[in-house]
Structure 1
Amino acid sequence: MSPDHAAGDENGRLIQAVAICRDREAFARLFEYFAPRLKAYLMHAGAPAGAAEDFAQDAMLTVWRKADLFDPSRASAATWIFTIARNRRLDVLRKESRPLPVADLSLLPDEPDRPDDLLSGAEEAARLTEAMRRLSPDHIEVLRLAFFQGAAHSEIARHLDLPLGTVKSRIRKAMIKLRIALEPLRGLE
């Protein structure tokens, strides 16, 4: 059994413990694992950081209240929880009469990967890490802020006390360097 599949089974058991006996420790473990992932997912889907955190907490509260509705034969724990978060966000957008974002199903977690997919992903991550090591500290900093912390370009400019154009230029140059560093390797796949 793959580690992801085992984790999925464990998360399903934790949800069932919440449903059956309102197990606070089980819920705390679920919250600790899923809340940051939900926030990142929601930010990637377009929610501002504060709103994403609120949606994530609201989704986890829904998990607490509706754990008895979880059916592991219909969906994995991760899929069920991420769907709750996505639906809560869409409900708020509807109430605010905002246009709904186009669904990007590629953002939802899939069922556990096969071992060869996991190995391929690990190799790709290692290549990306090596390519990142070749970047200048300035490039690494703007990429870290933009992609790993979800900061807007204007926020990065304020944080680093740089002109907005410089931030955009550094991000663009860093991405070009990464693409060049990774391109020859992608051609071999």
Structure 2
Amino acid sequence: MSWIVLGSDGATSAQERATRSLYEQHARPLQGYVLQLLGGDHQRAEDVVQETLLRCWRNQQLVGGRGQDLRPWLFRVARNLVIDDYRLRSARPKEVDGTAWLEDVLADTDDVDRVLSSLVLVKAFQTLSPAHREVLYETYYTGRSTREVSRVLGIPPGTVKSRLYHAVRNLRQALGVPEAGVR
């Protein structure tokens, strides 16, 4: 980021020297401050610093030694630019890439998908033993607790837990779903 343009004879004006001094004194601390505000986004931080220094160059009297007391003004302008950018991004609809429509299409389930899922699930349920189907039904379909299923089926709670574990495991295998932690 270069701010100084030398004249054809290599000399710089007082305004150019003041601009160089502004950059040398304030750019690095301002960059660190803005970087913190933006959570480490270097590209956006650099843009904010450039805009802040440009506004200072346009609006402040740089020639005349005000260099050090400009810092609070610069930090306030930078902070306001970050806030304005945040508000602008919040007010605009979220930008999406060209594949977002595909996710929407795949996420929508229609009656055909539900019927196919039901058929696959019914076929997988048929591979389970009656005891396993019974425990799955009582637990997931009716929403009963282990203790309630134990009372309804007349078996100990430990047996309910064991059957439920094996039923879910066998159902996953029948559906072709890998077990957790296995890849």
Q: What's the TM-score once normalised by structure 2's chain length?
A: 0.36
Structure with the higher fraction of residues in helix conformation: 1
- Structure showing greater radius of gyration is 2
Between 1 and 2, higher relative CO (CA 8 Å, sep ≥ 6) is seen in 1
TM-score by length of 1: 0.35
